[in-house]
Structures are given as C-alpha cells and as structure tokens.
A = this chain, B = another copy of it.
Amino acid sequence: MRILKLGGSVVTDKDRPFTPATGNIMRLADEIESSGPQPLVVVHGGGSYGHPVAKEHSISGGLKRRDQLAGFSRTHQAMVELNRIIVDALLDAGVPAFSLSTSTFVTTTARRVTELDASIVRALLGHGMVPVLYGDAVLDTQQGFAILSGDQLVAMLAHTLRAERIVMGCDVDGVYTADPKLARDARLIPRLSLRELDGMVRIGEALNTDVTGGMLGKVREATGAVEAGVEVVIVNAGEPGRVGAALRGEKVMGTVLIL
C-alpha cells in the first residue's frame, strides 16, 4: 500500500487564488496511472484554494464567533472544488479514483487526529480504486473546528492502513542542509535519519527559523511513520517523472527518511 501526498503548491498556482496548476495535475495523473498496480491512496493539500479562505476566516484557531461558521464551510467548499478537478483529471487519465470528503469522516481533538475509521478507504482499495482525500477544514471536539493538514492525514492513514511507502510530492527537490533559496552551498540530503532531522529541528528552533526552507514541518509529521517502518520519500513533484519513479520504488532524486 502506497500513499502519495501532492502538496498544495504542486496542484495549484500558489500566487493566484482558486487557480489549479492544470499542467502539473494532468502530468501527475499520467504518472500515477503508469506507476503500477500496487494499491494507492492520494492526499492533496489546499494551496491557493483552501489556504486563503481558511486564513480570511481564522479557521485554524478554532470557533470564536458564530460568523466564522460560514467561513469554515467555505474553506471546505474550496477544497471540494480543488478535489473535483484532481479526481476528474485522474479519471480522464484512466485511474479509478474516488473522492472522499475528509471532513465527512475525520474529526480532530485539539487539532490532532486521534482516531480514524478507515473502513471506507479499505473498501475502495478492495475494489481496486484509488481513494483521493485532502487536507480540510474539519470539526474539532475541543476548539469547534480546525485545519487538518494533508501531511497529518497522510501520517495517520499510513499508520492505520500499514502503508509500505509514503511519497511526498513537494515543490522542492527534498530536504536541504540549508534553505536553497538563500544559501548557495545548500546541499540536498539524499538520506536523512530521524536523529539528524531532530538536530536540524532543534537548530531551527534556536534560530527561530526553518533552516531547510520550510520542509521540516512536513517532514516531522512523517517521523511516526518512519519509526513504524514506512519508507518515506520526499521528491519534487514539479519535475516530470519523479513522482512516478518514487511510486514504483525506483531510485530517484529526493530525500529518503530513515530510522
């Protein structure tokens, strides 16, 4: 069982609200189609669909005023629309994708998923279908509602479904020794152990910055999966062929998380 995360910056144009990255989506649909028959779950992020709406209505901080309820719903509506585009593209490419609405069956407690009833995901996989979920605005038992990130959802699904491999498709080549946009000598780390990762997180916290240029938050969600024996590969989904190769288990430019 494989789980593919498609970052919001890969499937949308981050600088233009409500704009899908149609070229990326269609190419990735083809890469998924030709990646082999092993069971697959796809999870995508929000990019320029979910994020601006959630921010406008302060959804991640929880329910404080009744007029936020419409914003909570509109954040979900934005994700439904992006998901519709992605599932349609997968179907057009010949992938038997099926949309699952995250907020319909997942709730959080203090922003964390503590339990997940994955029976519908298993049932779809049993028919050879590819469930497609997404980061979403969800109900939260403590703060009313919350934002459940696609990264947290991926980690939870990997745990529940005992996934063998997680492929995280991002807009950078992997985890770097420093932010590659700022530091000339930044080097891609092909294999990163949890201990090294922990060290980088601590340096980042001391400097009050993410030394790798925004990858640590994503990567940290996956540490539990790595500890459970799941192979976690971070690749640049904006570069043709890398997601497909990673899904097939081939050697590919990127960062593999190891114990």
User: A127: which B residues are within 8 A, CB to CB?
Assistant: 63, 69, 139, 144
Determine if A123 is an interface residue (Cβ-Cβ < 8 Å). Answer: yes
A18 on the B face (CB < 8 A): no
A contact residues, range: 20 to 34
Q: Which stretch, A9-17, A20-28, A96-104, A149-157, touches the partner chain B?
A: A96-104
How many copies of this chain sit in the oligomeric assembly?
2
Instruction: Give Cα A81 to B80, complex, Å.
Output: 9
Complex CA gap A77/B144 in Å reads 29
Contact residues, A131-169 vs B (CB, 8 A): 139, 144
Point out the residues of chain B lying under 8 angstroms from A120, CB to CB: 103-105, 107, 139
CB–CB A123/B139 < 8 A: yes
Given A80-B80, A80-B99, does the pair A91, B73 have CB atoms closer than 8 Å?
yes
Roughly how many angstroms separate A24 CA and B124 CA in the complex, as a whole number? 35
Residue of B nearest to A138 (CB): B120
- Using Cβ atoms and an 8 Å threshold, which residues of chain B touch A111? none
Q: Can you name the residue of chain B whose Cβ is closest to the Cβ of A67?
A: B96
- The distance in angstroms between the C-alpha atoms of A88 and B139, with both chains bound, is 19
Set of chain B residues within 8 Å of A96, measured between Cβ atoms: 66, 69-70, 73
Query: CB-nearest residue of chain B relative to A72?
Result: B98
A66 to B96, CA, bound (A): 9
In the complex, residue of chain B having the shortest beta-carbon distance to the beta carbon of A95 = B70
Q: Are A104 and B101 in contact (CB under 8 A)?
A: yes
In order of increasing CB-CB distance, the 6 nearest A-B pairs are: A101-B101, A104-B104, A69-B96, A101-B104, A73-B98, A100-B104
